[in-house]
Amino acid sequence: MRGRLPVGPELAERVAGSDEARRRARVILQTMTGELRVQEACALLDISEQRFEAIRAEAITGAVASLEPKPVGRPPRPVESADATEVARLREHIAELEAELHAAAVRLELAQALPRVGRDTGKT
């Protein structure tokens, strides 16, 4: 058979964490692989069966939560503050231009509706 040999509870010794946390993880894994009975694990850790079950449930919950699918790809870059100020400035400028355009449209409408007072009518 080819490939790597499976790693068992000793994997807990290779990960970062305190000695006590790694020891607890190793013992929990040993109970899951059948190397230890729950009573033996409780004696090794000097805790009650209820506390052991709570620790094991917490470990399994944490493991499952850390294995949830994550979005693929790079996370989006946060908008930098300089970009945000530039966007705000450009939005203000757009609002000013829209106000000027509206005023020009009103002036044009008034100019078309009012009679041409004071202008030469072209009659001689």
Same domain, 31 and 56: yes
* Of residues 5 and 38, more confidently modeled: 38
Containing structural domain, residue 52: 9-66
Q: pTM for this one?
A: 0.54
Same domain, 62 and 33: yes
Within-domain flag for 21: yes
- The predicted-structure confidence for 16-66, as pLDDT tens digits, reads as follows 889 999 999 999 999 998 999 999 999 999 999 999 999 999 999 999 999
Q: 103: which 2 tokens? A: 């005023």
Decide if 57 contacts 32 (C-beta within 8 A): no
Same domain, 57 and 21: yes
Same domain, 60 and 87: no
Q: Widest CA span of the chain, in angstroms?
A: 121
Residue 121 scores a pLDDT above 70: no
Which of 65, 59, 62 lies closest to 29, judged by CA?
59
Decide if 55 contacts 68 (C-beta within 8 A): no
Number of domain units in the chain: 2
Neighbours of 48 (CB within 10 A): 10
* Of residues 59 and 1, more confidently modeled: 59
